[in-house]
Chain A
Amino acid sequence: MPSLGADMTTGTLRKWYVKPGDHVSRGDVVAVVETEKAAIDVEIYEAGVIEQLVAEPGQQLPVGGVLATLRADGAPRGWVRASPAARKLARERGIDLAAITGSGPHGAIERADVERITAATEVPLAAPAPPPIPPPPTLPPPTAPTPERSGIRHAIALATARSNREIPHYYLETRIDMRASLLHLEQLNAQRPIRDRILPAALLLKAVARAPAAVPALNGYWLDDGPQLQEGIHLGVAVALRQGGLVIPAIHDVDTRPLDDVMAAMRDVITRARAGRLKSSEVTDATITVTNLGDLGVETVYGVIYPPQIALVGFGRITEQPWADAGMLGIRPVLHATLAADHRATDGHQGAQFLTSLAQLLGAPQTL
């Protein structure tokens, strides 16, 4: 059972797409797993032959539990490619290596993969005893219609509570002059049919993905008391669901993809997020998250970091504001960009460099 998010502790197998003897390739969807948030298409990360389906549809398993066994291509039966450190850690924590998808060379399982799996369920061993909690006051029963406690609400409650409990957030904010960016998009879109138009939201994603080139320390995870920085820049995009709640699918390698491609990927992933058709890699491997609340009016958002990530970038609405430049006062379209970052992993100095880099990139949109 893969960990499909920091808030996931168990999952329910809904459906198998494979049977014993089937050959699978990296990226194939092999099963549907239901979490509290959504049904997710689970992809396999290694090529091989399905040996045995261990779990049955309907069965609930903890993260790390065995769904099926796979014989990797070219490997003898029962052999799993893993680093010695990963094997040791898995043994200590009682995790079956066969249940983990590796991120190392040729799909090898590395220590970080084992840590990622356990991060979701782990309870710190040496945590001091919490102070006694006073009994809750007697409250009157709810008088307004109260929605039922939903799975997605519960999942968000777990992740955000963990984030604010464990991650020492710091927040930075800057105002960005969006004149050059909006002008660039206007010129670009004027020559395009509606279907190919690019929204400011896509340009913002592109800029966020390019900023870690200046400050790599913000792209990755904080796991096991240390930073684990990532080379690939996979942006988690917070998508509000109409029935309430949100999901954060990832768009992969945004830094290296052309703007048109990023726009298309954004449309695709938002549509599938709302239809409940996301793939496992999309809900697990974001390296930094972006939340854009500008569409319906707010100017500034101070976000909650999605653990175990290090940073979250927030955008508000672009509004016309007075702007002083070179001794002159003018009116510019202004965007409030914020950064919420983990102070264990980075300092305000790096965070400030990140936002400065972001503003510079948006000032030269033709380079994005």
Chain B
Amino acid sequence: MTEAEIETILADVVHRVAPEIDLTHVAPDDDLRQALDLDSFDFLNVLIGLQERLGLEIPERDYGKVRSLRSLVTYCKAAQR
């Protein structure tokens, strides 16, 4: 899966959690939770959505590695291999 495909899936998952959010306004290195105003429940729902779509379980200790759009996409891509 390419980075662009992962980004599309992420945008879709975020849209389900918070329909009014437009991911295109977020800079690649912004803190996602802060930029999108996601609370801890929203963020957990995003991770659950990614798990469903990508089959990827992000462990809690890795939350620090998936803070921004860029790092999250990189993480998902690396985890696929």
- Enumerate chain A interface residues (CB-CB to B < 8 A): 186, 189-190, 193-195, 197, 199-201, 240, 242-243, 266-267, 270, 295-296
Contacts and interface: CB of A to CB of B under 8 A. Distances in A.
A197 B60 contact: yes
Contacts, number: 40
Q: Which of B34, B40, B41 has most A Cβ within 10 Å?
A: B41
A193 B40 contact: no
Interface string B28-49: 0000011001011100110110
Nearest to B50: A194
B11 interface: no
A200 B34 CA distance: 18
A186 B62 CA distance: 12
A270 B20 CA distance: 16
Helix, strand, loop or mixed for chain B's interface? helix
B40 A195 contact: no
Contacts of A296: 33-34, 37, 39
A270 B41 CA distance: 8
Contact of B41 (A189, A193, A243, A267): A267
Contacts of A197: 44, 60
A295 B59 contact: no
A200 B40 contact: yes
Given A190-B59, A190-B60, A243-B20, A195 B48 contact: yes
Q: Which of A199, A243, A266 has most B Cβ within 10 Å?
A: A199
B57 interface: yes
